[in-house]
Homo-oligomer: A and B are copies of this chain.
Amino acid sequence: MRGKLIVISGPSGVGKSTVLKRVMEQYDNLQFSVSATTRPIRPGEVDGVNYIFLNHDQFRQLIEEDQLLEYAEYVGNFYGTPVAPLEKALEEGKDILLDIEVQGALQVRKKFPDAILMFLMAPSLQIVEQRLRNRGDTAPELMKQRIERARWECSQADHYDYIIINETVETAANEVISVITAEKCKTKDRLPMFKED
């Protein structure tokens, strides 16, 4: 059976990468889609694993050749999803996890109406802002920009199918895995299995 395309977004500071790491540990048959980005590589990141790191010219070429499922600009950098490897993996029956921001997620929804869209939230909007402020590694102007951005992102949650609450890493990972499991039990996916009987 064709795999599921699972899109997860969430405001900066919500703890998304920790939750997704736990999900990957606990759920088989799931693989990350590796995004392309123009943002600088950070210490500890590996090109081709965390992201495919490109310069602006390389990224523009992917756009012009229509090789991106979606792309978006975030705080001065571009992020996008190369479509060919993703389509191949889905056809092979693998479930693909796409960790992208809101604009990208809404583009995916248009091109893959069956994609499952999840929005990861902290237990409250205040907690999201508090976590961003506590990071302390950011210039005040950029901090303000990020908080504004987080507020806007949370206002877009109503476009998503599911809202996952990051109460704890365990509960949030369990919710994500439950959604994937449940989606695979939907009658439209399962009924064909019994038609051949």
Provide the bound-state CA to CA distance between A119 and B193, in Å. 14
Distance in Å: Cβ of A55 to nearest Cβ of chain B: 38
A187 touches B160 (CB 8 A): yes
How many copies of this kind of chain does the complex include? 2
Any B CB within 8 A of the CB of A47: no
Interface bracket on A:
20 to 34
Interface string of A156-167 (1 = CB under 8 A from B): 011011111100
Task: Indicate whether A183 sits within 8 Å of B185 (C-beta atoms), given known contacts A121-B194, A125-B194, A191-B157.
Answer: no
Which of A37-45, A62-70, A88-96, A170-178 is found at the contact surface with chain B? A170-178
Any B CB within 8 A of the CB of A134: no
CB < 8 Å neighbour of A197 from B125, B177, B182: B125
Provide the bound-state CA to CA distance between A160 and B154, in Å. 33
Report A's interface with B, CB cutoff 8 A.
118-119, 121, 124-126, 154, 157-158, 160-165, 174-175, 177-179, 181-183, 185-187, 190-191, 193-194, 197
